[in-house]
Amino acid sequence: MNIAFKTIAAAALLALSFGAAAQTAAGGTLDKIKSSGKVVLGVREASPPMAYMLGAGEKYVGYHVELCERVLKDIAPQARLEYMAVTAQNTIPLVQNGTLDIGCGPTTNNMARQQLVAFALTTYVSEVRMATRVDSGITSLDQLAGRNVSASSGTTAVQLLRKRERAQNVSYNTLLGKDHLESFLLMEAGRADAFVLDDNLLAGIIANSKNPSAYRIVGEPLGSEPIALLFRKDDPAFKSAVDDSLRRMMKSGELEKIYGKWFVAAIPPKNTSLNLPMSATLKQLIAEPNDKPLEAYAK
């Protein structure tokens, strides 16, 4: 009886999922937003300064959250913004089945993901590096061979670590956290010797930790990654609306101001600064916007 109930429940959930996707596909995201009167934003709970939850009131803030809000108020000013907490693993499936209208977390644009969803113009370029405890003595990736390394499940950092294992013929004991906070806690507790992630996210997590001065970002980059908002594939009208809004912010200088607010100025909850000025690569992308995937950066 329990098995039958589970089967029925699973079938019902699957039907709901396909129903949402069919509804979205029938009229496109803009039509869906107009008819429902709301936009569902996928946000992260622990990815400062890109997207994170602030305080017990469950207010979501961050660079990509604010960009999402600005874009949506521009293209759908009457729509209510509804926030849904997501992870690196479930963002793309939730966009695909129509549950999310737009993903506002720090998601890397790569060719494999472009087969599943569409990405907006690149709004950040990160370098995947490692954070270590200051007293660890670790300053290079070469020192991680045979050691415990934490990374967040579903992130490209995991793929880059495995790629380096093959290329350098080394082995890491990779410990996977369900999100960035759990991955950092593995290092904080001494279970991992380093935590590998995008530099901007590492800086945000360290700045908001119990003892920021105890950690530092070190070592050579594993790779550079274009980060962008994402939404349903094969919906050119919505992509065009989002991209045009971002272009206007880039041209007016508004995007650079928003960047400064989250990467240079002091940010909540501890009112500390990440001190990450805009890179030359991102400045060039603002001058000449594009949505090229990760693979274009490796050439």
Give residue limits of the domains in the chain.
30-125+226-297, 127-224
Q: Confidence class of residue 26 from pLDDT cuts 50, 70 and 90?
A: low
pLDDT for the residue 57: 66
* Whether the bond into 269 is cis, omega within 30 of 0: yes
pLDDT digits (tens, 9 = 90+) for 115-150: 999 999 999 998 899 999 999 999 999 999 999 999
Q: Which CATH superfamily is domain 127-224 in?
A: Periplasmic binding protein-like II (3.40.190.10)
Q: Which residue has the higher pLDDT, 254 or 5?
A: 254
**Residue 138 near residue 132, CB atoms below 8 Å:** yes
**What is the arithmetic mean of pLDDT over 203-218?**
90
pLDDT for the residue 105: 93
Which among 53, 55, 68 is positioned nearest to 181, based on CA atoms? 53
30-125+226-297: what fold? Answer: D-Maltodextrin-Binding Protein; domain 2 (3.40.190)
Dihedral sign (CA 144, 184, 45, 74):
negative
The tokens for 104 are 């506002």
pLDDT for the residue 81: 98
pLDDT for the residue 55: 81
* Whether the bond into 49 is cis, omega within 30 of 0: yes
**Residue 189 near residue 178, CB atoms below 8 Å:** no
Q: Confidence class of residue 8 from pLDDT cuts 50, 70 and 90?
A: very low
Q: Is the pTM for the entire model greater than 0.85? A: no
Q: Is the pLDDT of residue 23 over 80?
A: no
- The edge-to-edge listing of strands for the beta sheet with 51-54 is 46-47, 51-54, 59-61
Q: How far apart are CA 151 and CA 167, in angstroms?
A: 19
Q: Is the pLDDT of residue 278 over 70?
A: yes
Q: Confidence class of residue 156 from pLDDT cuts 50, 70 and 90?
A: confident
Q: Say how far residue 103 (Cα) sits from the centre of its chain.
A: 8
pLDDT for the residue 129: 92
Place of tokens 């209208």: 101
pLDDT for the residue 20: 46
Q: Say how far residue 32 (Cα) sits from the centre of its chain.
A: 24
The tokens for 107 are 């998601």
Tell me the pLDDT of the chain averaged across its residues.
89
Q: Which residues have a Cβ under 8 Å from the Cβ of 135 and sit 6 or more positions away?
A: 214
Q: How far apart are CA 130 and CA 231, in angstroms?
A: 29
Report percent pLDDT > 90 for the chain.
74
**What is the arithmetic mean of pLDDT over 26-43?**
94
Q: How far apart are CA 74 and CA 88, in angstroms?
A: 27
pLDDT digits (tens, 9 = 90+) for 40-76: 999 999 888 999 999 876 799 999 999 999 999 999 9
pLDDT digits (tens, 9 = 90+) for 224-244: 889 999 999 999 999 999 999
Question: Read out DSSP for 168-205?
Answer: HT---EEEEESSHHHHHHHHHTTS-SEEEEEHHHHHHH
**Residue 91 near residue 105, CB atoms below 8 Å:** yes
Q: How far apart are CA 72 and CA 70, in angstroms?
A: 6
pLDDT for the residue 127: 87
30-125+226-297 and 127-224 share one CATH topology? yes
**Residue 64 near residue 277, CB atoms below 8 Å:** no
